[in-house]
């Protein structure tokens, strides 16, 4: 009965490849997020979707493309992976946007680029 | 620079002692939240304190908010080894989503 689940947990791949990370939440929330956490633990928001609509799109290379097929799912596709993309990517969800409610996080996807 | 910044960056204490972490931010906020991250896991929400509140408790946690100084503190009383984690504050700007600080790494030694 995991609330926010991400797959895969680990992703090791070569530079230049394309990969996807999937996220699903069963909390009934209407807002989902993608965050990137670097090696120094800085957590930066990348994207936010509310009811399948993109509401936050921070300065992220257009190699990163989020897709929300429904309110419970938010996937992240990355094209032409680069060494600097190595990080932990977290999916999160909340009820409502605007930062007025707690966010629930998945356990992260550890992406390593060789 | 980060909207919320925790201080200290790292803290080591003995089991049973109290741990205090501070968070400073730069602009007006709707609320401030504290999260914990255990090694290899996602962030877990601890407490939300709204801009019109000054203090909030949850079990062994006490959070204060001083909007005049743009700062908040998280106190963990009677710490346990299981409290070893990174602690982050997150500020919600009006109409926008969270900005997380770089975190405080807490080590509780048995």
Report pLDDT digits (tens) over B29-60. Answer: 888 999 999 999 999 999 999 999 999 999 99
**DSSP string across A26-92:** -S--SEEEEEEE-TT--EEEEEEEETTEEEEE-S--TTEEEEEEETTEEEEEE-S--GGG-EEEEEE
Write out the H or E segment, with its range, that includes residue A20.
strand A19-25
For B95, the closest chain A residue by CA position comes to: A98
Buried b (16+ CB within 10 A) or exposed e, A32-57: bbbbbbeeebbbbbbbbbbeeeeebe
Nearest Cβ partner for A100 among B43, B92, B99: B92
Asked whether residue A112 carries a pLDDT value surpassing 60, the answer given is yes
Contacts of A113 (CB under 8 A, 6+ apart): A13, A14, A15, A81, A82, A83, A85, A86
At B95, the pLDDT band (50, 70, 90 cuts) reads low
Flag if B48 and A43 touch (Cβ within 8 Å): no
Instruction: Kindly report the average pLDDT of chain A as a whole number.
Output: 93
Asked whether residue B1 carries a pLDDT value surpassing 60, the answer given is no
Q: Which residues of B touch A105 (CB under 8 A)?
A: 42-44
Cβ proximity of B56 and B49 under 8 Å: yes
Closest-CA distance, A37 to chain B, in angstroms, reads 10
Sign of CA dihedral A106, A39, B6, A50: negative
pLDDT of amino acid A72: 96
Instruction: Kindly report the average pLDDT of chain B as a whole number.
Output: 90
Q: What is the DSSP secondary structure assignment for residue B38, as one 8-state letter?
A: -
Mean pLDDT, rounded, for B26-30: 85
At B93, the pLDDT band (50, 70, 90 cuts) reads low
Asked whether residue B4 carries a pLDDT value surpassing 80, the answer given is no
Chain segment A52-100, per-residue pLDDT in tens: 888 877 778 999 999 999 999 999 999 999 999 999 999 999 998 777 8
Cβ proximity of A63 and A83 under 8 Å: no
**What is the C-alpha separation between B20 and B6, in angstroms, rounded?**
11
In the three-class reduction of DSSP (H, G, I as helix; E, B as strand; rest coil), residue B82 is classed as helix
Asked whether residue B100 carries a pLDDT value surpassing 80, the answer given is yes
Q: Which residues of A touch B98 (CB under 8 A)?
A: 45, 99, 103
Within an 8 Å CB–CB cutoff, is residue A27 touching chain B?
no
């Amino acid at each position: 009965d995991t609330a926010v689940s991400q797959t895969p947990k680990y992703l090791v791949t070569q530079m230049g490849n394309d990969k996807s990370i999937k996220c699903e939440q069963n909390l009934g929330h209407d807002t989902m997020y993608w965050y990137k956490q670097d090696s120094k633990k800085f957590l930066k928001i990348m994207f936010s979707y509310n009811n399948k609509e993109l509401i936050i799109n921070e300065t992220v290379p257009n190699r990163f493309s989020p897709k929300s097929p429904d309110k419970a799912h938010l996937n992240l596709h990355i094209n032409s992976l680069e060494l600097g993309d190595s990080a932990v990517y977290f999916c999160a969800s909340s009820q409502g946007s605007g930062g007025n409610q707690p966010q629930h996080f998945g356990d992260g996807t550890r992406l390593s680029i060789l | 620079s980060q909207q919320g910044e925790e201080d200290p960056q790292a803290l080591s204490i003995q089991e049973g002692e109290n741990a205090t972490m501070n968070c400073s931010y730069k602009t007006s906020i709707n609320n401030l939240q504290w999260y914990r991250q255990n090694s290899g896991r996602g962030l877990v929400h601890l407490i939300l304190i709204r801009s019109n509140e000054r203090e909030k408790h949850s079990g062994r946690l006490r959070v204060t908010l001083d909007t005049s100084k743009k700062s908040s503190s998280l106190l963990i009383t009677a710490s346990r080894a299981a409290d070893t984690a990174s602690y982050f504050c997150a500020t919600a700007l009006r109409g926008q989503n969270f900005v997380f600080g770089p975190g405080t790494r807490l080590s509780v030694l048995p």
